[in-house]
Amino acid sequence: MLTFPMKEFETHEQTYYDKGVHFILFGVFSFLLFRVLIQRKDEFFKSAILSLLFGSLYAFSLEFLQNYVPGRTVDELDLLAGVGGAILAMFYAFFIHKSPKPSLLLHVCCIGCGVYVSQLLKKEFKVTLYFYNPNIFPLREYEKRLEEIKKVARRYRLKVILGDYDHDKWREMVRGYEKEPERGARCMLCYRERLENTAKYANKNNFHYFATTLTTSPHKNAKAIMKFGQELGREYELGFLDRDFKKNDGFKKSAALSRELQLYRQDYCGCEFSLAEAEKRRKARESK
């Protein structure tokens, strides 16, 4: 296509057609390259410059090769058309990439689920992580989870907002429900309070949506979480993203990603009561 028909036999129509083909071909090539790079790097300017460079270099190399094809000569206008196509493709990429996405405040309880869900949602939303978990006990465990979140957020260039950590206040809230099993009445209070705090922050800071990674775990009551989220969404005039993230093997995928990134994965939900239950389970396993 780029070497034939031979130049001396070209009509005016064929010349325009030929330039048009160069323009489209190198434009499409550069745009596809941009899509591959942006998915791997998620850095707009680096991806656009590399795509423009490679698109132009490709156009230049093919034009240069014309010197070695019998009956062909280098045509600067073909080269200009190719580079022009690559430049226009980058303008188009800029337009698509910069078109605003709705903002979403994503409540995270640990980074394993946080990184999986944030990567899942990043194409649709501008995601900010919100670490608000006063339920976590002891403080050492809270700090460990937080450290992991900060580490991964740096790696994935995610913004993290820290909520308050007041475990005594949380204990006051669940007073009288200490003996409840996991997924029982104490957990309902715990889910709702963390979601309400997230909704309040999202409302105050003009987010469009809020969501939580809590639905990634098969040990949590996703139906109740979504019901609370919808109620709070109405109350705080926000969209609640009511997705059950464990669907489509979400929990397995998040565990696999954590292993791949060598992340810390706790073996209990968060509070001292769930820690005691986990220890009981551990002892029962060991005594078998």
> Binding segment for ligand SF4 among 89-97, 151-159, 243-251, 271-279 (CB under 6 A)?
271-279
13's tokens? 């129509």
Q: How many residues bind ligand SF4 (CB under 6 A)?
A: 10
Element (H, E) at 150: helix 139-156
Which three-class secondary structure state does DSSP give residue 179?
coil
Instruction: Write the burial class of residue 194 (CB in 10 Å: 0-12 exposed, 13-18 middle, 19+ buried).
Output: buried
Which three-class secondary structure state does DSSP give residue 239?
strand
189, 193, 210, 216 from 232: Cα distances, Å: 14, 10, 10, 20
- Contacting residue, 25, 83, 110, 271, with ligand SF4 by CB under 6 A: 271
- Contacting residue, 38, 90, 190, 238, with ligand SF4 by CB under 6 A: 190
Q: How far apart are the C-alpha atoms of 162 and 143, rounded to whole Å?
A: 12
Match 């992991």 to its residue by tokens: 148
Residues numbered 146-175 forming contacts with ligand SF4, rule: CB under 6 A: none
Widest pairwise Cα distance in the chain: 93
> Binding segment for ligand SF4 among 23-31, 233-241, 244-252, 264-272 (CB under 6 A)?
264-272
- Contacting residue, 75, 182, 231, 242, with ligand SF4 by CB under 6 A: 182
CB nearer ligand SF4, residue 90 or residue 214? 214
CB nearer ligand SF4, residue 250 or residue 270? 270
CB nearer ligand SF4, residue 86 or residue 269? 269
Which residue type does 222 have?
A
Beta bridge partners of 161: 130
In the 8-state DSSP scheme, what is residue 100?
P
56's tokens? 């132009």
16's tokens? 């325009």
- Residue 270 binding ligand SF4, by CB under 6 A: yes
CB nearer ligand SF4, residue 34 or residue 273? 273
In the 8-state DSSP scheme, what is residue 9?
G
CB nearer ligand SF4, residue 157 or residue 179? 179
Closest contact distance (angstroms) between CB of 151 and ligand SF4 is: 23
Q: Identify whether the C-beta of residue 134 lies closer than 8 Å to the C-beta of residue 172.
A: no
- Contacting residue, 187, 211, 226, 238, with ligand SF4 by CB under 6 A: 187
- Residue 198 binding ligand SF4, by CB under 6 A: no
33's tokens? 């390259």
- Residue 82 binding ligand SF4, by CB under 6 A: no
Closest contact distance (angstroms) between CB of 44 and ligand SF4 is: 39
- Contacting residue, 19, 107, 186, 192, with ligand SF4 by CB under 6 A: 186
- Residue 192 binding ligand SF4, by CB under 6 A: no
Q: Mask of contacts with ligand SF4, 126-145, x by CB under 6 A?
A: ---------x----------
- Residue 221 binding ligand SF4, by CB under 6 A: no
Q: How far apart are the C-alpha atoms of 77 and 248, rounded to whole Å?
A: 51
Instruction: Write the burial class of residue 80 (CB in 10 Å: 0-12 exposed, 13-18 middle, 19+ buried).
Output: middle
CB nearer ligand SF4, residue 71 or residue 181? 181
- Residue 121 binding ligand SF4, by CB under 6 A: no
Q: Identify whether the C-beta of residue 207 lies closer than 8 Å to the C-beta of residue 105.
A: yes
Q: Which residues bind ligand SF4 (CB under 6 A)?
A: 135, 182, 186-187, 190, 269-271, 273-274
